Amino acid sequence: MLKQPDHVVLNDFKQQRAAALDPALISQYEELVTEWMNTIEAVLTDTSDERYGTQLLTYEPRSGKTGLNILG
C-alpha cells in the first residue's frame, strides 16, 4: 500500500553521509514521506467502510477502570 523508495541507501556510513547532502535524493524522500502521510491520513479518515466503528478508550481516574466503547 505504501510506495517504497526507488533508491535505498545501504548501511555504509560514507554512502549515508553523501546521501544526506544530495538535494535530489532528499527531495525524493520528502515526496515519498508526504505521499505516505496522505495515504495513512486517507485510511484513518475513511468512514465509508462500516466494518470499522470508532473506538473510544475511556479511563475513570477515581476507580482506575478503563473501558472500550465502540461507536457507530
Residue 7 belongs to a domain: no
Residue 4 belongs to a domain: no
pTM, whole model, 2 decimals?
A: 0.53
Number of folded domains that form the chain: 1
Residue 5 belongs to a domain: no
User: Is 12 in a helix, a strand, or coil?
Assistant: coil
Amino acid making up residue 27? S
- Is there a contact between 72 and 53 (Cβ–Cβ < 8 Å)? yes
Residue 70: pLDDT band by 50, 70, 90 thresholds? low
Residue with cell 486517507: 42
Measured CA to CA in angstroms, residue 30 lies from 22, 26, 27, 38, 50 at distances of 12, 6, 5, 12, 33
pLDDT of residue 53: 59
pLDDT of residue 8: 74
- Is there a contact between 71 and 55 (Cβ–Cβ < 8 Å)? yes
User: 52 lies in which domain range?
Assistant: 13-71
Residue 31 belongs to a domain: yes
